[in-house]
Structure 1
Amino acid sequence: MGAKKGGKQEDAVEDMPHVPLKAILLADSFNTNFRPITLERPKVLLPLVNTPMIDYTLAWLESAEVDEVFIFCCSHSKQIIDYLDKSKWVNQPNFSVTTIESYNCIGAGDALRLIYERNVINGDFILISGDTVSNMVLKQALDEHKERRQKDKNAVMTMVIKQSKPSQITRQTRLGTVELFMAIDPATKQLLYYKAKSDNQGNLTLDKAFLAENPSISLHNDKQDCYIDICSEEVLSLFTDNFDYQHLRHFVKGLLGDDVMGYKIFTHEIHSDYAARIDNFRSYGSISKDIIQRWTYPFVPDVQFSMSNSANLERHGIYMASEISLSYSSKIGRFTYIGKGSSIGGGTVISNSVIGEGCKIGSNVLIDGCYIWNNVTIENGCELKHAILCDGVVMKSESVLEPGVVLSFNVVVGQGFEVPAYSKVSLLPQPVKQDSDEELEYADNNSGIIPVTNTLENGNSSSELEPSDVGIGGRGFIWSISEVGHEEWRHSVAPIPESKLIELTQTVFDNLEINIQDDNVFPIADEQESGNESDDENRDEDQIFEKEIEATFLRGVQENVKEDHIILEVNSLRLSYNMALENCASALFYSMLKLALDTPHNSPANLVDNTNDVISRWGKLLKPYIQSIDDEIEVILKFEEMCLENGSEFAPVFVLILHLLYDKDIIQEEAIHKWADEKEGADESDKVFVKQSEVFIQWLNEASEEED
């Protein structure tokens, strides 16, 4: 009887009609962060590792089993619609893409109000921007949202968040965003407080009434808002009822401050999955690096998920497309992508860069950390670092781009001209007005770009001016720095200047002193809630800390950052995670050995050679964190831990690398003896590497006796 009853239930589930999962994709940027580029092309069509941004978002939505996507587009809507009509997305089975066009929306709030009027959403939906890259598995977050909705109809939104770089230094290095404060109920994951810290803001202040109403809260400044939201259909009507909601997060803060309606927002934190939004030039560069380093798999260059041509992955993270012409004397460095049909001349050196399709790069050119789009010409002897070059740009011979430069479409840099750091150069003159909706005035819904006829500050019409701010034979207006703000380094693809790193480090230490003095301001969670859960959280935090250190180290290697700068970032992470020096030493050591392991090798001897190369170049980073014999022992124990991992290639060469660490003065003889002595009473399984090292330890003893 029981079996029959269960069968009927299963049949009932199978007979239930499929409810299509829908998504709203906002294809308009509604900000000026990517000017002057977005005056000519919509942000979602800008290439991200040679694939338009919107393709990453659509590919993820399709993989997440979304059935229907409504793409809202406003400025440059004709370009977006034309692209989608020619793309693979229009004919996908079980995946429908529909565009909703408007010509006068000035914010996300206007867009959602218009969608509400169209009555196309009649259930839960995903709200996402077309500049978001993710590979997260959506099902768990979606199930949590639906389960909460069944119990509480006021649970109208679930926000996806992710562990972020909590220190100001690393956050600025990665995404260029301001510090974000969140208060979350640790039991229910309900979002209770959300605020972005402005630069001129002092300490965070919470009302006593707020603390009284919420006796158990977790206060975070280490979470990243992924801008992936699971919403109920009430969200659209709430935007319609409140015209003050223009930005997506105006809505969040408005709902959290509304004590009358009782609507609730919850969070879903992802850990191993990837999700990030491209909000400025700095995050554009950081996410490009993440894609090349395959954190976003399967959305990587050698897996074709859009119409863009895929490339083959070669050694050292180098991607090569087809029909490339490379001079035998050119050098292509790590983590570089070379697009289809591009040619590179003799003596040219390219590293940590993305080269688009059909580019012509001459001889003796130096390119480092640059994003070069399609059909760009760079003549002989040019030098460019940490810059963005849009389609059709020409750099005449011996010209130079200082870090942080952005050259918009078809700009020509004159022979021998040096473009100053952080300059934005465009064939379009800088507008007088700074409104975010001004891109609508530049958008040509018939052909893409219209002639610019705005009046400039000097009163002349743009059509009367010949753009020649970039040297003899050049074409382009250098925009004044006021357009991007006085701290343009925050949002640039260029590394943070050394002076700013020192300033930020001092800020971190100042804030630490304040936090120590105010240690008892916030309530501490009940000790009964600790136990195994706390141990698990500590382990998770240790793993996250190690991942942060590894990512910081790898960026330092890829960008050839000075050791002092890496140490500054590691110190900042140490303070943020409240870690000891030995934690930093073991995490850095692990990162170095991981780099040696990931570097191609075909024998144990090659692996030892790789380790020798890495330690010789970067071993100095360990010195500030190895202050005692106990710290040195922690490094040995970390190495043992790596060797005990399944299939570890380090296990057979443990003693060779231990000897190498001794030769490089990373580990002293006393630490090796003490490590071996501590293993005396251990199980046999814990003595494997001590026994492997017996001959080496005996040699150390004999050498000491000879010295005596």
Structure 2
Amino acid sequence: MAGKKGKSSDKAGNNKLKNDVVPDERLQAIVLTDSFETRFMPLTAVKPRCLLPLANVPLIEYTLEFLAKAGASEVYLMCASHAEQMSEYIEQSKWNQPWSPFRVSTIMSLESRSVGDAMRDLDNRGIVTGDFILVSGDLVTNMEFDKALDFHRKRKAEDKDHIVTMCLSRASQLFRSRCHEPAAFILDKSNDKCLYYQDIPLENSKLKNAIAIDPELLEDVDEFKIRNDLVDCHVDICSPHVPAIFQENFDYQFLRRDFVKGVLTSDLLKKSIYAFITDDYAARVESWQTYDAISQDFIARWCYPMVLNSNLLDDQTYSYESEHIYKEKDVVLAQSCKIGKCTGIGSGSKIGEGTSIENSVIGRNCHIKENIVIKNSFIWDNVTIGSDSVVEHALVASNVSIGSGVVLMDGCVIGFNVSIDDNMTIPVGTRLSDTYVHKPVSQFLDSEPYSDDEVEESEANPDNALPALALVGANGVGYVYESDDAHDDDEDSSVVFNGTNALTHRFDDLYLSDNSISSMSAKHKKKRRSSTNSTAAANGRDDEYYEEDMDEDEDEEDFAAEAIATVERAMENNHDIDTALLELNTLRMSINVTYQEVRSATVVALLRRVYHFIATQTLGAKDALLKVFGQWGPLFKRQAFDQDEYVDLANLILEKTVAQRFEKPEFIVFTALTFLYDQDILDEDAVDAWWSQVSQDPKYDQAKVLIAKWIEWLRTADEQSSSEEGSEESDSE
């Protein structure tokens, strides 16, 4: 014992030494260069999002500048779609030079289709050696990272279970860069520990906008606050446990709605996540609207000291003038042209007589001819625009040729290499590409894991391509990109423009109220009750809510489908029992259902597996039951906790077996129940109580034929046992 004590003391000393050198340890950063979304189609079919220019600077540059100021010593770029372009760009950039502030490496994660896949790939490679920064390649921020890192280390010293610090930025209700997909964070008021996370549906969504939280998550919390006024720029300081948790939970795809919510609601992981809230500028270019908003913010110097005239690229030569006007060298301006406020113009560009430009960014080597009006727009490199044209609140990608007298209406996106003939009008919200690009809505959605490599430019197909001749003209080149938003409402041709992923920033399409979130405690079969954990913490008042039975049924149906799929995946991939239990419990708490729903879903999944083995003649009925229930029957030990619940389990096996339509349901029920009895999952009292309930019910007579004889045998054996015990006692006396 003395030896162990000495060893423990030495270990404590080593820990103390490690804590002393933490500030000197290398700081690693993981950059997710793929967005795993389709919002920037059709541009991202040609180039990855993080290489698209914002204010004439590729998006990845803003992220790498942030990491350089943060003191990162090693940066790993996780590349999925267009990985070759990313690798080539980094090799030729200043970040690959000997004087770079960090060592940068590109990791080809070509099979990744989500953040979860990328994190699992990261875990497999064993790159992470300590705490690391996790960011997206589309981050624009001037955040003082030292404060966030100090906060993280302080919380980690206080809480041994602390694994993630989320960096969030305050924002007013009408802040232009506010998150495209708003969310609510429930935080412990004393230390900003995150207690719960939930997405907030958009105003035009039919989903309910309430926070459904299990009251158990708020136990031992004196006071909490609900925050939905935060910009989530996805800057996280993570411990090495994070990739491992993704590895253990193969269904985690998204960073917030899966990982964060799953960790917070898990009763097995017991890990902590904290929020560091800053007033600095921080936002992600995650949609057309945020691209528009962040571009305007950057030109207006909201991200100071990171500004356009700081010339982030080695060959840039921007100078700053009053009213936020930026110009590079070799810009040619006609005498009568008008350059308005908040405008940037790249080198080699020519602006013709009578042309007016305001609140816009013009790239390099553009030829903007005479009498053109450009407002609130983004013109990338090598673009030609003919005289007498109007471009208002539109984006024109590189190498585009626009004829004379052309009108680009609000929200238009003109893709690479498109050519538009003279005197054409491009309608509101139109997206054009030089080749036919189409993404089947049923296959890929913005809310699903996805990589841009899966949507490639197709050869022009006149039978499938939307007719663009009426838009680009006889001498034009271009196809209409059929946005997935267009399928949301076949009767509304303007849905692309009115949708939340249009270039125009419209607050009426976003749900950004800071004082109208209601909360619901655990679901009970009651129609009305007082909310014990309402927004009183934020608003200083009590709320009541009505919980409709229809909403409860929908939640239960959603849970049943998800839970069945979870168990089926566990069986197919031969996961261990603990992993399956963790996933089921996480799902149960996230949707807030009872253990009865968990048992029901598990029984269905197991019986479906048995049916599959029998139907495919892989195994006989008995062998299939012994295989499935032998391996996965122990799940029920963590889903039933008293006799009533075990009686319910037996009922479920009977009902679901009949519903599955086995050829001999009586044999399935008999074998399943007797096996669970032999494995000490069901005991005699539970079986006897169950039989007392169902024996007289004629509904399942056929399925109970063999069970009746077994129950009779159990009772006879029990009586004989009791009689023998009584006889032994008499003999002893």
Same fold (TM > 0.5): yes
Question: Which residue does 1:55 correspond to in 2?
Answer: 61
What is the number of equivalent residue pairs in this alignment?
496
Match of 1:129 among 108, 129, 136: 136
Task: Map 1:6-45 to 2 at 5 A.
Answer: 18-45=24-51
1:374 to 381, 386, 394: 381
Q: 2:166, 2:235 within 8 Å by CA — same for their partners in 1?
A: yes
* Residue 190 of structure 2 corresponds to residue 187 of structure 1: yes
Q: Does 1:115 align with 2:109?
A: no
CA gap of 1:510–1:466, structure 2 versus 1, over 3 A, is closer
The CA RMSD over aligned residues, in Å, is 3.2
More deviation in 219-228 or 397-406? 219-228
Q: CA deviation at 1:459?
A: 5.5
Q: Answer whether contact 2:37 2:451 (CA < 8 A) is retained.
A: no
Instruction: Tell me which moved more, 125-134 or 197-206.
Output: 197-206
Contact 1:350 1:368 in 2 (8 A): yes
Q: Deviations over 1:261-316 (max 9, x none)?
A: 10110000001x21111100110111111111111122211112333513100111
Q: Displacement, 1:208?
A: 4.0
Give yes or no for the alignment of 1:301 onto 2:313.
Answer: no
The corresponding residue for 1:315 is 322
CA contact (8 A) 1:50 1:308 kept: no
Is the CA contact 1:423–1:481 (under 8 Å) kept in the aligned structure 2?
no
Aligned residue in 2 for 1:178: 181
- Residue type of the alignment partner of 2:278: I
Q: Which residue of structure 2 aligns with residue 491 of structure 1? A: 501
Aligned counterpart for 1:80 among listed residues 72, 75, 86:
86
Residues 64 and 12 of structure 1: is their aligned pair in 2 closer, same or farther, counting only changes over 3 Å? closer
Q: 1:343 aligns with which of 342, 350, 358?
A: 350
1:147-546 correspondence to structure 2 within 5 Å: 147-166=154-173, 170=174, 173-175=176-178, 177-198=180-201, 199-204=205-210, 205-212=212-219, 214-249=221-256, 250-271=258-279, 273-434=280-441, 435=444, 437=450, 439-441=452-454, 452-453=458-459, 458=463, 469-483=471-485, 486=495, 488-489=497-498, 490-496=500-506, 501=508, 511=516, 522=534, 524=536
The residue identity in structure 2 corresponding to 1:400 is V
Deviates more, 1:256-265 or 1:35-44: 256-265
Distance in structure 1 (CA, Å) of the matches to 2:58 and 2:483: 28
Q: Is the 8 A contact 2:437 2:458 kept in 1?
A: no
Residue 143 of structure 1 corresponds to 150
* Paired residues of 1:432 and 1:455 also in contact (CA < 8 A): no
- Aligned amino acid, residue 481 of structure 2: W
TM-score scaled to structure 1, two decimals?
A: 0.65
CA offset at residue 215 of structure 1? 4.1
Alignment match, 2:577:
none
| In structure 1, C-alpha distance between the alignment counterparts of 2:338 and 2:372, rounded to whole Å | 10
Superposed, which structure 2 residues align to 1:94-109 within 5 Å? 94-109=101-116
Give SS of 1:160's match: strand
Query: Structure 2 vs 1, CA of residues 309 and 341 (structure 1 numbering), >3 Å: closer, same or farther?
Result: same
Asked if the contact 1:189–1:266 (Cα under 8 Å) also holds between the matched residues in 2, the reply is yes
* C-alpha displacement of 1:433: 2.5
1:396-455 Cα offsets, whole Å, 9 max, x none, are 000100100000001112211110101111112132434264621466xxxxxxx62487
2:78 and 2:118 in contact (8 A); partners too: yes
Q: Residues 152 and 454 (structure 1 numbering): CA distance in 2 closer, same or farther, change over 3 Å?
A: farther
How has the CA–CA distance of structure 1 residues 509 and 316 changed in structure 2, closer, same or farther, with 3 Å as cutoff?
Answer: closer
The residue identity in structure 2 corresponding to 1:331 is K
Post-superposition CA distance 1:473-521 (Å, at most 9, x none)? 111112235446535432323253xxx84x889x969959999x99996
Is 1:90 equivalent to 2:96 in the alignment? yes
Instruction: Label 1:380 to 1:15 Cα distance change in 2 as closer, same or farther (>3 A).
Output: closer
Structure of larger gyration radius: 2
The Cα of 1:370 is off from its aligned counterpart by 0.3
Relative to 1, partners in 2 of residues 1:324 and 1:293: Cα closer, same or farther, differing over 3 Å?
same
Q: Distance in 2 between matches of 1:430 and 1:391?
A: 17
Amino acid at match of 2:185: M
**Shift of residue 367 of structure 1?**
0.2
| Distance change >3 Å, CA 86–CA 93, structure 1 → 2 | closer
Matches of 2:49 and 2:514 in 1, distance apart? 37
Change (3 A) 1:226 1:495: closer
Q: CA 1:433/1:218 → structure 2, altered by over 3 Å: closer, same or farther?
A: same
Q: 1:512 to 1:38 in 2, by over 3 A?
A: closer
Q: 1:479 to 1:175 in 2, by over 3 A?
A: farther
- Aligned residues of 1:59 and 1:306 also touching (Cα < 8 A): no
Q: TM-score, normalised by structure 2?
A: 0.63
Aligned equivalents of 1:202 and 1:307: distance in 2? 50
Given that 1:344 and 1:360 are in contact with CA atoms closer than 8 Å, whether structure 2 keeps it comes out as yes
Post-superposition Cα deviations, 1:322-365, rounded to whole Å, max 9, x if no partner, equal 10110000000000001100000000000000000000001000
Identity of aligned residues (%): 33
Give the superposition deviation at 1:469.
4.4
Partner SS, residue 302 of structure 1:
helix
Q: In structure 1, how many angstroms separate the alpha carbons of the residues matched to 2:320 and 2:166?
A: 35
Partner of 1:286: helix, strand, or coil? helix
Distance 1:384 1:525 in 2: 48
Are the aligned partners of 1:405 and 1:420 in contact in 2 as well (CA < 8 Å)? yes
Q: Which amino acid aligns with 1:49?
A: A
Residue 94 of structure 1: CA displacement? Answer: 4.1
- Aligned to 1:143, the other structure's residue is in SS state helix
CA 1:467–1:55 in structure 2 vs 1: closer, same or farther (change >3 Å)? farther
Residue equivalent to 2:715: none
Moved more, 190-199 or 344-353: 190-199
Letter in 2 for 1:470: V
C-alpha contact (below 8 Å) 1:431/1:454 kept by paired residues:
no
Find the aligned partners of 2:112 and 2:537 in 1 and give their Cα distance.
Answer: 45
Instruction: Determine the C-alpha separation between the residues in 1 that align with 2:464 and 2:384.
Output: 34
Name which of structure 1's ranges 434-443 and 285-294 shifts more when overlaid on structure 2: 434-443
What's the offset of the Cα at 1:109?
A: 0.9
Once the two structures are overlaid, the 10-residue window that deviates more, 426-435 or 314-323, is: 426-435
Query: Judging changes above 3 Å, is the alpha-carbon distance between structure 1 residues 267 and 389 closer, same or farther for their aligned structure 2 residues?
Result: same
**Cα displacement (A) at 1:319:** 0.3
Residues 191, 266 of structure 1: 8 Å contact kept? yes
- DSSP-derived class of the 2:156 partner: helix
Q: In the TM superposition, what whole-angstrom CA distance separates every residue of 1:156-189 from its partner, at most 9, and x where no partner exists?
A: 00000111233xxx26x54461331110001011
In the TM superposition, 1:550-589 aligns within 5 A as: none
Q: CA deviation at 1:150?
A: 2.6
Give unpaired runs (5+ residues) of structure 1.
1-10, 444-450, 528-708
